Amino acid sequence: MDSQFLDTRSRREHRLRPTLVALAGAFTAIAAWTAAASVNTGAALDAAPLDATQIVERNAAARGGVEAWRKVQTMVWIGHIQSPHGPMPSLPFSMAQKRPNKTHFEINAMGQKTLRVFDGVAGWKVHARGDGSPDVQAFSPQDARFARDGQGIDGPLIDGKAKGNAVALEAKEQVEGQDAFRLNVRFASGDSELLWVDARSFLELKSERTSYAAGGAVAGKVTTYYRDYKEFEGLRIPTTIETGVGSGQGTDKMVIERVVINAPLDDRGFTRAAIDGRKPGIARGLDPAVHHAPQMPPPQTAQSTPPASAVAGPDSAQK
């Protein structure tokens, strides 16, 4: 593995860490719960006919329905990451999620794997040192808090009141030329996430969360765009997730090529044990049936028209 890649690995992981954890929540449906939502008054909202609760309900319907999402116990994404910070333009990845809040994420770069696992409370990450030996580290408190706030398959809004979350409608504004509602979701941890929901399709267009350095200092804002929604077994999922827009350092794009729903996944795949004796594929501890799951039929495009920017990009399979 070349030295330039090793030198930039930690920076790339720092950029990808909040995105990949946050994505677990961003791809999920939103439940129709009676939120303790407050709506700011002012000129920005004068033209908005809906309140936060109604927007949440319509988003849930647009994503395939609350009940359909509640039946999802596990979900696996397989695809590639396009990043200017890696040794090659396309890096294969796999990401598995399991209720209530478990995540297992792998990137395969030139035969070396970068792995992050989270069991709902604690997490671990590993990548190869220059000599090929594994460098295993526990999640920092900031990593763990960020992962917990991602809230797994359900995301931050489904049953949000029970999780201690609150949602407020802050404004109606444009995202890449599309009218959108800006929602502020405050977590029980005290942190918050901004979500922009398309005012026409009611699908998420964008999110923004604060990223923290290892010492706890604010590292900056992580902005993520969700593009090219497709339908998988009745659920609408964005198949390109772009991070780093406007940073001036190039963007990272996660392109989801396959989605496997409710595959049997061993809990060991989300623990420290998954890191030891790793094998090719999604990882030791995750059921091998996932590797042999049949290719899903071509997904149907969601019955809503995405913004023109949602289909832009060098890969025709992107959102």
Which residues are CB-neighbours of 215 under 8 A, at least 6 positions away? none
Q: Is 94 part of a structural domain of the chain?
A: yes
Q: Is 259 part of a structural domain of the chain?
A: yes
Asked whether the beta carbons of 128 and 9 are under 8 A apart, the reply is: no
In this predicted structure, what is the pLDDT of residue 43? 36
In this predicted structure, what is the pLDDT of residue 12? 46
Asked whether the beta carbons of 177 and 309 are under 8 A apart, the reply is: yes
Q: Is 318 part of a structural domain of the chain?
A: no
In this predicted structure, what is the pLDDT of residue 248? 57
Q: Is 317 part of a structural domain of the chain?
A: no
Q: One digit per residue, pLDDT tens: the chain, 319 residues?
A: 444 433 444 444 444 444 444 443 333 322 222 222 333 333 344 454 899 999 988 888 898 988 898 899 999 999 999 988 766 788 999 999 998 889 999 988 777 778 999 999 999 998 777 777 778 899 988 888 888 887 778 677 666 777 788 999 999 999 999 999 999 999 988 889 999 999 999 999 999 988 777 777 777 888 999 999 999 999 999 999 999 765 556 789 999 999 999 999 999 999 988 877 544 445 445 555 554 444 444 434 333 323 222 222 323 233 3
Q: Domain residues for 54?
A: 3-311
What's the rounded Cα separation, in Å, for the pair 32 and 254?
A: 28
- Record the tokens describing residue 192, joined without a space: 């918050």
Cα 253 to Cα 16, 84, 156, 197: the distances in Å are 10, 10, 22, 20
For residue 52, count other CB atoms closer than 10 A to its CB.
24
Which residues are CB-neighbours of 226 under 8 A, at least 6 positions away? 26, 27, 203, 204, 205, 206, 207, 238, 240, 241, 319
Q: Is 26 part of a structural domain of the chain?
A: yes
* Structural domain count, the chain: 1
Q: Is 271 part of a structural domain of the chain?
A: yes
Asked whether the beta carbons of 181 and 199 are under 8 A apart, the reply is: yes
In this predicted structure, what is the pLDDT of residue 163? 74
Closest CA to 93 of 116, 123, 119: 116
Q: Is 319 part of a structural domain of the chain?
A: no
Q: Is 316 part of a structural domain of the chain?
A: no
